[in-house]
Structure 1
Amino acid sequence: MLALPSELQHAVHHLYQYRKSISTKPFAARGMKLIRCQWCLLGEIFCTCQHREYINTQAHFMLVMYDDEVLKPTNSGRLIADIVPNTSAYLWSRTEPSKEMVEAINNPKYQPMLIFPAKYAEPNQAVISHVSQCKNTSDGKIPLLILLDGSWRQAIKMFRKSPYLHNLPLLSFTPETLASYELRKGSHDFQLSTAEVAALAFEAVDEPLNSQVLTAWFELFVESSLLGRNRRLKEDIIPIETYIDKYKQAIINASLD
């Protein structure tokens, strides 16, 4: 099993270990018999940890995760923490929100904004489509991009029952933006995975090359996950090395920008 250096262990790794420590029984995920890497949660023979690298970005991300979401091998929120060094992660609680999380949201060095569809905005809640529309970011504040990580139903519940989020600007993407996005979608256009939404957020902070890095990292994750489910190899399946090479090239492109 890969021994991951401490500098590459991130907030989601730590939250995963904490959530496991308070569990009363093992988490029964699909494919639970698969021997998994303890860091990326992919099958050991498809582990991607050796390939990941941190990127340079002006944005900070915050993941607010629904209960056992952090335990799911299919969770894509961890992919953000894999490549964005300034990523924090907290378990959501309706009655006892993390004090550290709330303090970060209220920290004057940040301009926090919640990435969420405009249709759910509270009365008088600002809705923006680009980070520059928050005047405080032009004053040198760091964009803090907050993502509610769970199923769509869980995300709606988290938003509605978290009053501390209702005064934040909503960073919301237009139907045209969503329709042009080429990765997998849910049953509705706005139901993207957490990592896919974060890739769109990079576009909203004018970092398209970082968006491409996260997109390539997500694609590698999807293919590695499918291979770990014993998907039969066929002649028309693109070799996993192709996805690794695409990700590495995206990293090079972003570093040269």
Structure 2
Amino acid sequence: MPRSLCSRCQRPEKQCYCKALKEETACMDIIILQHPRESRHPLNTARILELGIGNCEVWVGEDFSAHSQLLRTLAEKNCFLLFPGANARASQDVLRTERPEVLIILDGTWRKAKKIYYCNPLLQQLPGIELTDLSLSDYRIRKAPGAGALSTVEAAVTLLRQASRDSKAHQQLLDTFSLMIDQQINAMGQEVFRKNYQQDNG
């Protein structure tokens, strides 16, 4: 029998994290372009941002060339893309002189995020931001593409903290993320976790 899911966070009711989140306003608007496969992933972290940041929207798809809301936003706002593409500059260099109104984030596995990027020339034309001074990811139950890779929520909080010059901004988002990971590890059991995710450390 399928487990009952929370209608907001889409987690099993026993692992619901909604009570850990109170809506905040970020120092810039956030638009997350999410690959359809990621939207169905039970541990996708864009949902934490969507529920915890009032000025955050998640749009699902691969080709956004005819997405009227995105096209209007790009025409009217000072938008930056958080992605290490050809036009990307180090985050601290950008934020020293620029104040993005809108931060666009691509959400999916590294392969899927690149697909969105290359399917949408309009994104390739945007000024890009590449994060610097990264901490280690707490995403202990998904395979990272390489050292320094962060989940979507971790990347967003890192950038927002740099932009606001507040090293503790949006801590509740990271706390909720850690809670979700801990709950998932407890649900699968420590033995399964160690076997599947800690092989390289043992």
- Shorter-chain TM-score tier: 0.7 to 0.9
TM-score relative to the length of structure 2: 0.80
Over aligned residues, Cα RMSD in angstroms?
2.4
Is 1:183 the counterpart of 2:121? The answer is no
Q: Larger Rg: 1 or 2?
A: 1
2: distance between equivalents of 1:190 and 1:103? 33
What's the CA shift for 1:224? 2.4
Match of 2:19 in 1: 50
Distance 1:182 1:66 in 2: 21
Partner of 1:102: 71
String of CA shifts for 1:119-149, please: whole Å, max 9, x gaps: x31xxx25241353454x2xxxx52111111
Give the direction of change, closer, same or farther, for the CA distance of 1:152–1:68 in structure 2 (3 Å limit): same
**Unmatched tracts of structure 1, length 5 or more:** 1-31, 234-257
- Please state how far the C-alpha of 1:42 moved relative to its aligned partner: 1.6
Per-residue CA distance 1:43-84 (angstroms, 9 max, x = gap): 212212123101232221101011232222111111111111
User: What's the offset of the Cα at 1:202?
Assistant: 1.5
TM-score when normalising by structure 1? 0.64
Identity of aligned residues (%): 23
Question: Counterpart amino acid of 2:131?
Answer: F
Report if the CA contact (8 A) 2:78-2:102 is conserved. yes
- 2:24–2:52 contact (8 Å) kept in structure 1: yes
CA distance in 1, matches of 2:39, 2:166: 27
1:224 matched to 2:183? yes
**Alpha-carbon separation, structure 1, partners of 2:138 and 2:19:** 24
- Call closer, same or farther: CA 1:184–1:45 in 2, change over 3 Å: closer
**Worse-matched range after superposition: 182-191 or 67-76:** 182-191
**Structure 2 unaligned runs (5+)?**
192-202
Q: Distance in 2 between matches of 1:214 and 1:95?
A: 27
Give the 3 Å change call, closer, same or farther, for CA 97–217 of structure 1 in structure 2: farther
Task: Report how many aligned residue pairs link the two structures.
Answer: 186
> What amino acid does structure 1 have at the position aligned with 2:50?
A
> Counterparts of 1:26-37 in structure 2 under 5 Å?
33-37=2-6
TM-superposed CA distance for 1:162, in Å, is: 0.8
Taking a change above 3 Å as real, the CA distance of residues 161 and 182 of structure 1, as seen in their structure-2 partners, is closer
Give the partner amino acid of 2:82. Answer: I
